[in-house]
Amino acid sequence: MANPDAPFGLRPVKHLNGSPWNGVVERCYVSASYATALFVGDPVDIDTTLTDKTAAAKHQTIIKATAGDGNYVYGVIVGFEPNPDNLSRIYSPASTAAWALVCNAPDVIYHIRDDGAATPTYVFPGQNANLIFTHTGNTTTGISQAELDTNSDPPAADASNQLYILKLADIENNDLGTHAIWEVLLSTHRLSGVPGILGVTSA
């Protein structure tokens, strides 16, 4: 059965040592001046605009991470604090102040679906890959549409790529084919202390 074309961004699964991810998050600020919507599953980075920072300096201010080679990721949004003016809102609209809950541990393994632009092969595990934002987030579900890039910058052994592919996710109805779900680490993580995880290409 073909894998569905149903991106969901990055979804934390467990830590690298095998222990389950227990939901620990960092509370991060999204400035009302930031003109991009954010969704659950979006990779984020630190906001570089000084005037957007919280004056108390007790929280990081975040923006959506830039997809592509050499760009860093600080963490992944796993939820938002309720907005008292709109309790039904499940994402952060553009130009709206918000508090995001971010998984920022460098050793967390995530699930992510590939973009289906090229057929993946069994050489993918152990290689690096980049993020791609072909679609905008879903305002109905509040879910990110970030995917693993298989075509415009195909997986390879490249430590400057944003993701390190561990393996095809061992879950039901997930086949080695287009739109597969992969287990990945954030290779260019802001908090990892290394320039990136170098993958290996098998010949």
Domain boundaries, the chain: 1-193
Angle at 186 between CA 169 and CA 142, to 5 degrees: 75
Structure tokens at 119: 């057929």
DSSP track, 165-199: EEEE---TT--SSTT-EEEEEETTBTTSSSS----
pLDDT (tens digit per residue) in 85-120: 888 889 999 999 999 999 999 999 999 999 999 999
Q: Average pLDDT in the 18-36 region? A: 96
pLDDT (tens digit per residue) in 170-183: 999 999 999 999 99
Mean pLDDT, the chain, rounded, equals: 94
Q: Average pLDDT in the 23-40 region? A: 97
pLDDT (tens digit per residue) in 49-86: 999 998 889 999 999 999 999 999 999 999 999 988 88
Structure tokens at 103: 């998984």
pLDDT higher than 90, residue 136: yes
pLDDT (tens digit per residue) in 2-15: 999 999 999 999 99
Count CA atoms closer than 13 A to 83's CA, side-chain side: 17
DSSP track, the chain: -PPP------EEEEETTSPBP----EEEEE-TT--S-B-BT-EEEE---GGGS-TT-SS-BEEEPPPSTT--B-EEEEEE--BTTBTT--SB-TT--EEEEEE--TTEEEEEEB-SSS---TT-TT-EE-EE--S---TTT-B---EE-SSSS--BS-TTSSEEEEEE---TT--SSTT-EEEEEETTBTTSSSS--------
